[in-house]
């Protein structure tokens, strides 16, 4: 059976809600938001029913999982996420990778939901600020202090260590060695980015073929094969700490891609206006307000098919 893009997206969101509600840390606000999503579109309800049917079949649990009080809480999150896999068509290998990554992220030592930012104080006195949709594992031992950034973005402020253990951040693409510093690391599927705010770091690709020292006020991109030459930080670096995205003559499609990190669902940009240059400060804690500012300030058209499916385009008759 072939599923439409809308159905696949609904399954993705349903899987996230399922894992959140079964995690044991869901709040009343989470349950209200889930219910709002559920009733917003028939496609959402169909996606949830698919998941319920598969979960009941695998767990042999009677009754419907579509009720607000979900059953089967004694099953582990690993088992729950394994059942989510069965909802996805076997030919969609990308979804298999997503399921595997999601299960790791949900079991991480530190994590944030979409749109959430949280700060943690580590045992050595270092601090760790997680941006939206971020997952981190902590690996401290007698030889090193290691953060494994599974996905997302972190701001690290390191503390001096009496045992002089090195402080490292490990991503799927390479390693960042802190040299007594304050810095940001972002990890994405295609590569990573490091921006140094104080002192310096050393960035090394996984291949070991490229190692670059990055000083305060500089940024680099890296992947498993190479690290780029350092460049100057722009004014937007780290603005998310204060709850903003700062854009200076930035293509609209890139700004919307950044905004989409802070809201669940799909935020699409009409290709005809993708390269429209935008400047301003946009709130990430209220992305609907940011979209309203674009709508009024640039005379764009923001079409909300649901809370989880938004399209930005030129007004009718313009391009």
Tokens of 184: 């940001």
Query: 309 forms bridges with which residues in the sheet?
Result: 266, 306
pTM score, whole prediction = 0.67
pLDDT at 79: 41
| CA nearest neighbour of 259 among 288, 235, 231, 280 | 288
Tokens of 40: 């917003």
What dotted CATH number matches 118-232? 2.60.120.1440
DSSP for the chain reads ----HHHHHHHHHHHHHHHHHHSS---HHHHHHHHHHHHH-HHHHHHHHHHHHHHHHHHT--S-TTSSS-S-TTS-HHHHHHHHHTTS-TT-HHHHHHHHHHHHHHTSSEE--TT--EEEE-TTS-EEEE-TT-EEEEEE-SS-EEEEEEEEEEEEE----TT---EEEE-SSEEEEEEEEEEEEEE-SS-EEEEEEEEEEEEEETTSS-EEEEETTEEEEE-SS-BPPPEE--TTTTGGGGTEEEEEEEEHHHHHHHHHTTSSSEEEE-GGGTT-EEEEEEESS-HHHHHHHHHHHTT-EEEEEETTEEEEEPPTT--
All structural domains of the chain with their residue ranges: 5-107, 118-232, 239-313
pLDDT at 129: 96
Q: Going residue by residue through the chain (319 aa), what tens digit of pLDDT does each one get?
A: 456 667 767 776 777 776 666 655 667 787 788 888 888 888 888 877 766 654 444 343 333 333 333 333 333 333 433 334 333 443 334 444 444 455 456 678 999 999 999 999 999 999 999 999 999 999 998 899 999 999 999 999 999 999 999 999 999 999 999 998 999 999 998 899 999 999 999 999 988 888 999 999 999 999 999 999 999 998 788 899 989 998 888 999 999 999 999 998 899 999 999 999 988 889 999 999 999 989 888 889 999 988 889 999 988 655 5
Q: For residues 116 and 254, what is the distance between their CA atoms, to the nearest angstrom?
A: 20
The residues, any chain, with a CB within 8 Å of residue 178's CB and separated by 6 or more, are: 156, 158, 166, 167, 168, 169, 201
Domain 239-313 class, CATH top level:
alpha beta
């Amino acid at each position: 059976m072939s599923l439409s893009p809308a159905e696949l997206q609904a399954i993705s969101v349903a899987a996230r809600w399922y894992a959140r509600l079964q995690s044991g840390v869901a709040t009343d606000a989470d349950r209200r938001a889930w219910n709002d999503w559920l009733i917003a579109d028939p496609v959402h309800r169909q996606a949830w029913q698919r998941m319920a049917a598969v979960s009941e079949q695998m767990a042999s649990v009677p009754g419907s999982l579509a009720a607000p009080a979900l059953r089967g809480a004694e099953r582990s999150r690993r088992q729950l996420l394994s059942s989510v896999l069965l909802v996805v068509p076997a030919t969609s290998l990308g979804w298999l990778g997503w399921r595997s990554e999601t299960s790791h992220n949900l079991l991480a030592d530190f994590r944030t939901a979409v749109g959430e930012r949280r700060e943690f104080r580590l045992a050595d006195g270092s601090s760790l600020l997680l941006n939206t949709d971020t997952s981190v594992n902590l690996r401290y031992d007698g030889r090193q202090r290691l953060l494994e950034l599974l996905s997302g973005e972190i701001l690290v402020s390191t503390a001096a260590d009496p045992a002089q253990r090195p402080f490292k951040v490990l991503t799927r693409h390479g390693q960042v060695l802190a040299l007594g510093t304050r810095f940001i690391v972002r990890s994405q599927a295609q590569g990573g980015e490091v921006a140094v705010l104080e002192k310096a770091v050393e960035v090394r690709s996984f291949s070991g073929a490229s190692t670059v020292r990055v000083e305060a006020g500089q940024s680099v991109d890296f992947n498993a094969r190479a690290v780029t030459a350092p460049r100057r930080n722009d004014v937007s670096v780290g603005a998310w700490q204060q709850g903003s995205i700062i854009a200076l003559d930035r293509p609209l499609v890139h700004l919307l891609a950044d905004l989409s990190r802070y809201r669940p669902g799909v935020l699409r940009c009409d290709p005809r206006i993708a390269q429209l240059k935008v400047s301003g400060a946009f709130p990430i804690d209220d992305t609907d307000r940011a979209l309203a500012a674009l709508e009024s300030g640039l005379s764009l058209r923001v079409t909300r098919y649901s809370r989880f499916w938004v399209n930005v385009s030129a007004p009718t008759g313009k391009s």
